[in-house]
Amino acid sequence: MVKKIYKTEKEKMISGENYFPGDKELISDRKRAKDLCFQYNSLPNSEKQKRKDILKRLLGKYEHIISIESNFFCDYGYNISIGKYFYVNHNCVILDCAKVTFGDRVLIGPNCGFYTALHPIDAKERAKGLENAKPITIGNDVWIGGNVAVLAGVTIGDNVVIGAGSVVTKDIPSNVVAFGNPCKVVREA
């Protein structure tokens, strides 16, 4: 007889299954992340070591130079993976219910959002309070202009420029310039 293995809501969330975001553990994790974001955003830029310490607590291990301007917001922090030489301008939001992976030498303009969370299209299903999430992956040597939204399940390849104001709803291949709503490839990079 095969024993049924029960997953926590956190395990379901991370694995892309439907999960209940009102779970006590997830509420606690979000509260921790929101408190750390608040602390980070409240510190003056001159308090570099304190800001770095908060980012390490929020994001976990990272080994290379990263710079995240205030204000910065995320849901959990532990689902964000950052490569070498990472820069984020002001007012970035990362809804990291699923993994959000940034490669090396990624530049992100102001007012950008990375949204892994998904809710059911059907209103009756949505009313049950379940949601799921799909990962976002950003390659190496990517520049994302200001006011860009990257949606759940999207992969952006290496050596890509995403023009300001774009809404990225589908994968973008490597070595291109893309922009628009929806974001589309306009030329090779």
Report the range out of 36-40, 122-126, 127-131 with the highest average pLDDT.
36-40
8 A C-beta contact, residue 143 and residue 162: yes
Q: Sorting pLDDT into bands at 50, 70 and 90, what band is 90?
A: very high
Catalytic positions: 119
> What share of residues in the chain are helix, strand, coil (percent, to 5)?
25, 30, 50
Q: Say whether pLDDT at 175 is over 90.
A: yes
Cis status of the peptide bond prior to 110, with omega within 30 of 0: no
* pLDDT confidence of residue 189: 86
* pLDDT confidence of residue 4: 57
* pLDDT confidence of residue 65: 80
Whether the CA torsion 57, 62, 63, 69 is positive or negative: it is: negative
Q: Say whether pLDDT at 62 is over 80.
A: no
Rounded CA separation 186/189 (Å): 9
Rounded CA separation 20/164 (Å): 34
Q: Which domains does the chain have, with CATH numbers?
A: 9-188 (2.160.10.10)
* pLDDT confidence of residue 6: 64
Q: Sorting pLDDT into bands at 50, 70 and 90, what band is 70?
A: very high
Rounded CA separation 157/172 (Å): 6
The mean per-residue pLDDT over the stretch 72-91 comes to 96
Rounded CA separation 104/83 (Å): 4
* Residue among 154, 170, 104 nearest 185 (CA): 170
The mean per-residue pLDDT over the stretch 87-116 comes to 98
Q: How much is the mean pLDDT over the chain? A: 95
* pLDDT confidence of residue 60: 82
What Rg do the C-alpha atoms of the chain give, in angstroms?
Answer: 17
- Mapped onto helix, strand or coil, the DSSP state of residue 173 is coil
Query: DSSP string spanning 1-33?
Result: -PPPPPPPHHHHHHHTS-B-TT-HHHHHHHHHH
Q: Say whether pLDDT at 26 is over 80.
A: yes
Q: Say whether pLDDT at 63 is over 80.
A: no
| Paired tokens of 123 | 């209103």
Type and span of the H or E element at 54: helix 48-59
Of all residues in the chain, what percent carry a pLDDT higher than 70? Answer: 97
Q: Say whether pLDDT at 150 is over 60.
A: yes
Q: Sorting pLDDT into bands at 50, 70 and 90, what band is 99?
A: very high
**pTM of structure:** 0.94
* pLDDT confidence of residue 1: 59
